[in-house]
Amino acid sequence: MRAAPPPADPALIAAQYEAALGTARLRELKESFAAASPETVVAILDEAVKLASDHLVALNDVGDAQGCKLVDGRVKTASGHREAWEAFAAGGWPTLDLPEEEGGQGLPAALAFSVQEVLDRACPAFGMIPVPTRSAARLIHAFANEEIRAEWMPRLASGEWVASICISEVEAGSDVMRMRTRAVPNEDGSWSISGEKQWISFGDHDLAPRIGHCILAKTATSDGLSLFLLPDTIDGIRQPIFVRRLEEKMGLHASPTCALGFEGARAWLIGQEGRGLQQMFVMITNMRLATGAQGLGIASGAADVALQYASERKQGGRGPVPVTIDTHADVQRMLLDMAARVETLRGLVITAANQVDLANHETDPETKADAAALLQWLLPIVKTSGGDVAFEVASSAIQVLGGAGYTREWPVEQNLRDARVLTIFEGTTGIQALDIVHRRVRRDGRGLACFLKAARADCTPGDALSQTLDLLEHAAATLIAQTDLAVVDGGATAFLRLAQLAASGWIAARLAVLAGDDPASRRLVVAGRNWLAGLAARATLAHAEARDGGSFTKDFAALRQI
């Protein structure tokens, strides 16, 4: 069995939780949020660490080596996966932030995502099933009729049943309106679904007796897409759902990615016909934040492996006895950079998650609307940053470990493989960039305004964060004024990168001034200061590319002449 990352540090995560914008306010708004006291947060995270140590560390190793198999048309998961899921369900983990009236504990979303970080640090592939199940529960809670809610919500909350999200099709990934899956009404009020879906995480498996597929399809009576709940079994009988294939993937081997065929399977409409895509945004919020948390889990584990290895590996030095490599300046530079990326991402995930709850529970309408707008601004930033930070930190960890990091003996090479998909699924980086530029800058600037107001409250004129916010504001104004959409689109990814730098710089500025002489506080202060040190230079480059990057696309035609 390969080396495992050190266990997550609950005190460090809890320190970020307490420091995040919105945490104190949420405790004032709702009794169940107040129940997440500092002591309770640490206790819950301690239990998550125990679950990860007892079940997920071993599953990560076995699952990466074994993968999943298609046997007689059904998916068989890796050894130990069922036991891990049963322990997860028995511990009540699926219920953390689900509504109390639906069988949940009603705890803050930020705590649920912090738990996800701990579990995904040990086995990110395992997290590919709780996330769609929690997301489906939100859809059903928000839009399903009372009968469907009564049947499904308690079982999803308990982990007895699970769910998948079926959106993508061949030639209709991000371009969802081109999908061809059709729904035809039946006389009993149900619908018959026929079509092909792909990229379905845990679209089939042997972990639970029933899977509810949340599926988008077209109907004859609406121009929009409609959302349906399609159970894989009815009265214990398997529906006409077929696993066409399992994808052979670079990473996340313990998570089966399925292509599914539906041949007249019965389903029930969720919400309004033709409004499925709009309703899906309830789910998309959770999925994109979960991607950030998953990247955080991978990155935090890789960073700690590198730090521990560097403290033990001896090489170099000027005397007769070699020194540990963490005494070398270049290694220290890499370790500090990794820590800064991890801590700013963690603060960003928790802050964004707090906005979810504030947008739902704030009492003042304007404050409530501001929280919703800030959340929409942060979503593409958190989602993209999760993937970027996970991959970059895993790559740096391999560099610190040297040749050892490139071997399967150490987990960081798997971290790199597992992390690569995070900037692809739930909307690629380019899609996130177009979203933030066209929807959050050119169409509605409230989210940007809310972000600038919050971030400027934590900076002083002329400091690194202030300079970065000025560049962000200038780049946004430039993109608003630009009439050539090709130039706007060409600079969108650079603008998203600038927005990421501004957001991470905001978190870094808050961390850099934390009080306290405990180890967690000292680490957070150092991480914040380190990230701020290079912030303005990075932001200047991103600003230039956001402003001018689109002009380079005029040269693309030359590639087609080769």
Which residue, 142, 246, 174, 224, is CA-closest to 426?
A: 174
Active-site residue flag, 426: yes
| Calpha distance 95→50 (Å, rounded) | 18
Distances (CA, A) of 67 to 116, 250, 253, 255, 429: 21, 11, 5, 8, 27
In order, the DSSP letters of 208-261 are SS-EEEEEEEE-TT-SSEEEEEEESEETTEE-SEEEEEE---SS-TTS-EEEEE
Q: Which residues pair with residue 267 across a beta bridge?
A: 191
Helix (H, G, I), strand (E, B) or coil at 192: strand
Instruction: Phi first, then psi: give them for residue 169, nearest 5 degrees.
Output: -135, 165
Is the CB of residue 46 less than 8 Å from the CB of residue 9?
no
Residue 274 in 3-state DSSP?
A: coil
Packed helices 281-312 and 130-143: angle between N→C axes, nearest 10 degrees: 160
Choose the catalytic residue: 102, 343, 362, 426: 426
C-alpha–C-alpha distance, residues 194 and 346, integer Å:
41
C-alpha to C-alpha distance for 55 and 476, rounded to whole angstroms:
47
Catalytically annotated residues: 426
